[in-house]
Amino acid sequence: MRRWDIFCKIVDNFGDIGVCWRLAKQLEHEHAINVRLWIDDLNIARQLIAALDTAQRVQRVDNITIAVWDADTSFDQAAEVVIEAFGCDLPESYLTLLQPDNIWINLEYLSAEPWVEGFHARNSKRGDLTRHFFFPGFTRATGGLLREHDIVKNNQKIASSKQLQSDFFRQLNLPLNDDSATLNISLFSYPHAPISDLLSAMADSSTKISCYVPTTSILPKVAAFFGKEFITAGDHLRHNNLNLHVLPFLSQADYDKLLANCDVNFVRGEDSWIRAIWAGKPFIWQPYLQTEDTHLLKLKAFLDVFYSGCEGAAQQATIAMHNAWASQQITASTWQDYLSNINTLKTFTVQQTSALASQPDLATNLVIYIEKLHHNKI
Ligand code: TRH
């Protein structure tokens, strides 16, 4: 089954297209799958797929066919496999083209909650069609995590090479931070995070910090902390022990490199969360805000899964930091306590990265799962 369609609806932010584009690339590059990616909003997608021409309805980028999915789209044929990303609802006109032997997968959102194992690979019927539910996850009983085959190795090379580090920072017009006492930190979060409190804790701590902030919707909050109305990529700001560098919004590949170059990464949502794990550096994850505090349940489930084997004080410090970040109540002592445990967390994260990287990745699991469905082995 070599012809796949992926449908991506951009709800908000970059996670939907970030995951779909990454999956499409990996299926094409590592599994020789012929992918057609249907996207409902090329303008937002262009932020992640810089080569996209928003005037074209159908185009090839990186060997992948990208097509506009809107009210004017007409479908002539369904692919052998169709991936409906995050329950985005396939268009009726496409559904009518599907036959029982087409394989229809709903790729779900990632969660570390224990119920995921029981729901992964279940299905539901719609007439004579079957919709299969594929859940990403952190255990072998789930669909796994998106991971290109060389990403962990590439990140390790960066982490151990001063040359690669200085090449990266030079490319961003930034000096290499040669002072081993200064911590490099990347910051990507939702604007409701307690950004001002965090920057204040960083500035006033005894540890020198270089903080790298790609351009996203948090810039007004960062600007306000420094008493400015407006900041932009290329700006460097300083307050006490904090040096902050505003970066452009990076390509996915450069964002991966930034994470590998930093000592601590603040990440959010779904895709950057997993990239932080492959970077093998301590990270603080901010889950996507949901009603009834569901995101806090997701956070707790992840902290339970990821840090259960971590030594006591470091475990408490990272849990406290995550909870403070997610519930908007950072204090200087939470941050200081986290920094005091950073070496333990560094060693622990490297171990967890290699444990998770020893499991099969999501794209490979998906290909195997679909082959089994095709041969009626499930
Ligand atoms: O943008 P997000 O908040 O996406 C969210 C989540 O996926 C959430 O689960 C979903 O419900 C919601 O979207 C609709 O965060 P995420 O998932 O980390 O996606 C960000 C993408 O942007 C990721 O692919 C990394 C990429 N990125 C860059 O390519 N360059 C950058 O400079 C930065 C900061 C991010």
Q: Which atom of ligand 1 is nearest to the CA of 216?
A: 34
Distance 128 CA to ligand 1 centre (A): 36
What is the average pLDDT across 118-127?
97
Q: Which atom of ligand 1 is nearest to the CA of 12?
A: 14
Indicate whether 137 and 235 sit together in one domain: no
Q: Is the pTM of this model over 0.85?
A: yes
User: What is the model's pLDDT at position 176?
Assistant: 73
Distance 268 CA to ligand 1 centre (A): 7
Indicate whether 118 and 156 sit together in one domain: no
User: What is the model's pLDDT at position 179?
Assistant: 81
| Residue pair 27/35 in contact by the 8 Å Cβ criterion | yes
pLDDT at residue 378 is higher than 80: no
Q: Which atom of ligand 1 is nearest to the CA of 252?
A: 29
Among 8, 12, 13, 273, name the best residue to mutate to test ligand 1's pocket (greatest count of ligand atoms within 8 A of Cβ).
Answer: 13
Q: Which atom of ligand 1 is nearest to the CA of 10?
A: 14
Indicate whether 325 and 258 sit together in one domain: yes
Residue with the smallest CA separation from ligand 1 atom 19 is 15
Pocket of ligand 1 contains residue 252 by CB under 6 Å: yes
User: What is the model's pLDDT at position 376?
Assistant: 84
User: What is the model's pLDDT at position 312?
Assistant: 95
pLDDT tens track for 241-276: 999 999 999 999 999 999 999 999 999 999 999 999
Domain limits at 173?
Answer: 151-357
Distance 240 CA to ligand 1 centre (A): 31
Distance 362 CA to ligand 1 centre (A): 18
| Residue pair 259/279 in contact by the 8 Å Cβ criterion | yes
Indicate whether 284 and 309 sit together in one domain: yes
User: What is the model's pLDDT at position 114?
Assistant: 97
Residue 348 maps to which CATH number?
Answer: 3.40.50.2000
Which residue carries 């996203």 as its tokens? Answer: 216
Indicate whether 179 and 97 sit together in one domain: no
In angstroms, the Cα distances linking 368 to 112, 231, 362 are 22, 47, 10
pLDDT at residue 224 is higher than 80: yes
User: What is the model's pLDDT at position 180?
Assistant: 82
pLDDT at residue 377 is higher than 80: no
Beta bridge partners, 104, equal: 82, 131
Work out the angle at residue 13's Cα, subtended by the Cα atoms of residues 218 and 366, and round it to the nearest 5 degrees.
135
Share of the chain above pLDDT 70, in %: 100
Residues with a known catalytic role: 16, 270
pLDDT tens track for 312-347: 999 999 999 999 999 888 999 999 999 999 999 999
Indicate whether 47 and 187 sit together in one domain: no
**pLDDT bracket for residue 204 (50, 70, 90):** very high
CA distance 267 to 246: 16
Pocket of ligand 1 contains residue 18 by CB under 6 Å: yes
Which residue carries 């952190």 as its tokens? Answer: 138
**pLDDT bracket for residue 300 (50, 70, 90):** very high
What is the average pLDDT across 283-300?
95
pLDDT at residue 178 is higher than 90: no
Pocket of ligand 1 contains residue 16 by CB under 6 Å: yes
User: What is the model's pLDDT at position 67?
Assistant: 98
The candidate with the shortest Cα–Cα distance to 148, out of 251, 65, 252, is 252
The candidate with the shortest Cα–Cα distance to 146, out of 300, 268, 272, 34, is 272
pLDDT at residue 8 is higher than 90: yes
Indicate whether 309 and 365 sit together in one domain: no
Residue with the smallest CA separation from ligand 1 atom 24 is 18
CA distance 266 to 255: 12
Pocket of ligand 1 contains residue 67 by CB under 6 Å: no
Contacts of 341 (CB under 8 A, 6+ apart): 313, 314, 317, 318
**pLDDT bracket for residue 1 (50, 70, 90):** confident
Distance 304 CA to ligand 1 centre (A): 23
CA distance 331 to 336: 9
User: What is the model's pLDDT at position 130?
Assistant: 97
| Residue pair 99/25 in contact by the 8 Å Cβ criterion | no
Share of the chain above pLDDT 90, in %: 95
What is the average pLDDT across 207-234?
97
Indicate whether 140 and 159 sit together in one domain: no
Indicate whether 138 and 268 sit together in one domain: no
Helix (H, G, I), strand (E, B) or coil at 7: strand
Pocket of ligand 1 contains residue 188 by CB under 6 Å: yes
Residue with the smallest CA separation from ligand 1 atom 10 is 15
Pairing of strands 81-85, 123-126: unpaired
| Residue pair 288/270 in contact by the 8 Å Cβ criterion | yes
User: What is the model's pLDDT at position 78?
Assistant: 96
User: What is the model's pLDDT at position 341?
Assistant: 98
Largest separation between any pair of C-alpha atoms in the chain: 66
SS (H, E, C) 262-302: CCEEEEECCHHHHHHHHHCCCEEEECCCCHHHHHHHHHHHH
**pLDDT bracket for residue 175 (50, 70, 90):** confident
**pLDDT bracket for residue 12 (50, 70, 90):** confident
- Which of these ranges, 134-143, 166-175, 259-268, has the smallest mean pLDDT? 166-175
Indicate whether 266 and 181 sit together in one domain: yes
pLDDT at residue 110 is higher than 80: yes
CA distance 189 to 269: 8
Distance 196 CA to ligand 1 centre (A): 21
Contacts of 52 (CB under 8 A, 6+ apart): 42, 45, 46, 59, 61, 66
Instruction: Compute and round to an integer the Cα radius of gyration of the chain.
Output: 21
In angstroms, the Cα distances linking 363 to 142, 148, 228 are 12, 9, 44
CA distance 46 to 131: 30
Distance 295 CA to ligand 1 centre (A): 16
* Total tally of structural domains belonging to the chain: 2
Pocket of ligand 1 contains residue 136 by CB under 6 Å: no
The candidate with the shortest Cα–Cα distance to 211, out of 161, 164, 269, 258, is 258
| Residue pair 20/61 in contact by the 8 Å Cβ criterion | no
Q: Which atom of ligand 1 is nearest to the CA of 215?
A: 32
Indicate whether 225 and 324 sit together in one domain: yes
Indicate whether 231 and 346 sit together in one domain: yes
